[in-house]
Chain A
Amino acid sequence: MSNPAQRRSTSLAIISTGFVVLWIMVAASPFLWTLWGSFKVQGDFFSKADWTNALYGVRTMIETGDFFTTNGYYGAWVEHGFGESVINTTIVVVSTVIISLTLGTLGGYALARSGFKYSFWILMLALVFRAMPHITLVSGYLLPFFEWNVWGYLPTSIIVLVAINQPFTLWMLHSFFLNIPKDLDESAMVDGCTRFQAFRHVIIPVMWPGVITTGLFSFLLAYNDFAVTASLLSQDNQTMIPKIASFLGTTQVEGNVMFAVAAVVSAMIPLFILVMFFQRQIVSGLTAGAVKG
């Protein structure tokens, strides 16, 4: 901090640090609160008497004899079969990521290496597709899918999610491939490789950082999706997020809102672990499109 341009007065430093601390509290506290509250009974999490009950678990102590209870988790996972939707989510997410990346790397590579004007138009088209609200596309799918009897199955949702994912995947991988020097694959082709061999033997070994980052975002899109999975999957094939949404209708009536809270926390945890391990990739992915213009 000897650089005069970056030296800051103490009062400003306090204000700016205070602001960041405030932001961190706003960003994190809802999650901590819900995580903590998911181990309480409803009377504490939604406390009529005093909100600090949720911290100390007063009602939880009275009702269950312990400060923590896993009743919510038991209800969600055992009684309401949340585990099945976790398996469905895993199938959908893993398949979507693998297929999107396969199609996306081929396409993104071609777009990055071709100087033709139509590659620009394909990218623009992808941007237009990216802008479409997902639910408008869903309203186009439903009727044909009913007619062809493919509504309600996991593979249908997977294909749809892959397609919806493509515009973004193409853009991101395109910008990653632009960063890999052209000389690399061109020299391989001078040595007698075909374009595909050059891609296979020269590009694939060096493309993994970009592919992993793009894969993370494909993962998030498939995992976080609500519009597609909620309307294209039948009750038996529901993934986690539509399952949680359908919990709301049923559990609020039964007074079992804690099941939904436990399910929400269960669905949150994988995301947090993901951020913990891949923070750097997520940050670089968010900025890949932006900083390079």
Chain B
Amino acid sequence: MPHRTFFWFIIPSLTAMILFIAFPVISVITQSLHVEHEKVLISSESCGPFGCKQVTVIDVEATAQLRTDQPLGQFSGFDNYTNRNHLAFDEISLAWSNSENMSMFFNKLLNLPFYKALAFTLTYTFVVTPFVIVLGLAIALGVNALPKFAKGPTIFVSLLPMIVTPLIGSLILFWMIDGEGVIGASIQSLFNDPNLSLKASPALTWMMLIVYGIWHSAPFSFIVFYAGLQTVPTDTLEAATIDGANRWQRIRYVVVPYMKPLVVFITLMQLMDNFRVLEPIVSFASEASATSLSWIIYKDLTSDTQLFGSAAATSMLTIVGVAILLLPVLFRTWRDFSRTAH
């Protein structure tokens, strides 16, 4: 296909991506280097019967004018990145020198909003992803052994947790684990503790969010593995049986190697999707015990005074995080590609 034709075919799609994905990234970078204008203050002396004093009032009009003239705010360099709500270098060094031991230091660290969110986001990503892979493979092996008539309906039901809107799926779970919901109430009666609340304790909240994540993503890896299982050649399995491999060895040495590229694919997709976890936190209203990077951006953007600079700085840090996560996988893909190309 000549370059010209290729160009005309790809241009609409490429334009959309450049305008609405590449440019916003540039816009995020610019915004992250600016902060909102401070309020314009007028000080005047007001004199009363008891003498004069300095009064400072906010000049609402001038503030609004300044904000419309320069919506980006004022240039602040890397302040957005280093202030308390983001990387918080000052607070960390202070905490480091004031803490007697590591656990005290980590306690202080996890009180800083960015690190609190980062801790949950990373935990969520790295707990959900392996669980999803193992559970998905187990379900796929199980469904593969079912009689033919049962497979279709099983796949139908299995798809539901994945297909349903994340906000809705997590809300449903949230209502069930409510102290008065079915799971919450059952757990209370199970442990005979009427005050036990899955929402009150941070550890339990983290656990419930992770359970939701696994429930939501397991179908994806199940479907991918299930399709992969159909491509495992029966000849090889038979040969392994004749050579004396037992069932476990057949799975370990024949099936699993066939699944390897699928594991890479699922890992890649899961790392991307789990790192951006947002909806469950909104549904669970769990900001007291668990927040995520996406959630703090969302909160900055939707609160009454929108903090564009702060949101942009967190966004940049999140993008860097995604890049670090995906680098190994991307590098591997690139190596495979150049190997097949030459």
Contact = CB atoms under 8 A, between A and B. Distances in A.
Report if A and B associate in a common complex: yes
Contacts of A257: 175
Contact of B219 (A27, A147, A293): A27
B238 A282 contact: no
A131 interface: yes
Interface in B119-178: 138-139, 141-143, 145-146, 152, 154-161, 163-169, 171-173, 175-176, 178
Interface in A269-288: 271-272, 274-276, 279, 282-283, 286-287
A56 interface: no
Given A28-B160, A241-B168, A5 B186 contact: no
A264 B302 contact: no
A215 interface: no
Given A133-B322, A134-B276, A136-B319, A241 B224 contact: no
Contact of B17 (A24, A114, A129, A220): A129
Contacts of A26: 215
Interface string A241-253: 1001100100000
Nearest to B72: A143
A291 B9 contact: no
A36 to B, nearest CB: 11
A271 B6 contact: no
Interface string A191-212: 0000110010000000000000
A180 to B, nearest CB: 14
A135 B142 contact: no
B237 A230 contact: no
A163 B17 contact: yes
B255 to A, nearest CB: 11
B24 A16 contact: no
A67 B326 CA distance: 53
A224 B167 CA distance: 8
Interface stretch (B56-64, B90-98, B308-316): B308-316
B97 to A, nearest CB: 33
Given A26-B215, A133-B294, A226 B175 contact: no
B262 interface: yes
Contact of B167 (A33, A111, A245): A245
B337 interface: yes
Nearest to B308: A143
Given A226-B165, A261-B175, A110 B6 contact: yes
Contacts of B301: 135, 138-139, 142, 231
Contact of B25 (A140, A260, A275): A140
Interface stretch (B39-47, B107-115, B227-235): B227-235
A264 to B, nearest CB: 5
Contacts of B72: 143
A226 B167 contact: yes
A140 B164 CA distance: 28
Given A27-B158, A114-B6, A139-B311, A5 B238 contact: yes
Contacts of A195: 1, 5, 9
A131 B300 CA distance: 22
A280 B142 CA distance: 19
A135 B237 contact: no
B14 interface: yes
In the complex, the 8 A-B pairs of residues with the closest C-beta atoms, listed nearest first = A140-B24, A163-B20, A107-B13, A110-B9, A133-B276, A287-B227, A136-B315, A46-B180
Interface of A: 3-6, 8, 12-13, 16-17, 19-20, 23-24, 26-28, 30-31, 33-34, 45-48, 51, 54, 102-104, 106-107, 109-111, 113-116, 119-120, 122, 124-144, 146-147, 159-160, 162-164, 166-167, 169-170, 195-196, 199, 220, 223-224, 226-227, 230-231, 241, 244-245, 248, 257, 260-261, 264, 267-268, 271-272, 274-276, 279, 282-283, 286-287, 289-291, 293
Given A130-B272, A139-B312, A283-B159, 7 more contacts: A24-B158, A102-B12, A135-B276, A159-B16, A260-B171, A275-B163, A291-B231
28 contacts: A4-B238, A19-B138, A20-B143, A31-B172, A46-B175, A46-B181, A103-B16, A124-B334, A126-B17, A131-B272, A133-B293, A135-B298, A136-B294, A139-B297, A139-B311, A140-B315, A142-B301, A143-B71, A147-B71, A164-B20, A167-B17, A196-B5, A226-B166, A257-B175, A267-B168, A276-B156, A279-B152, A290-B265
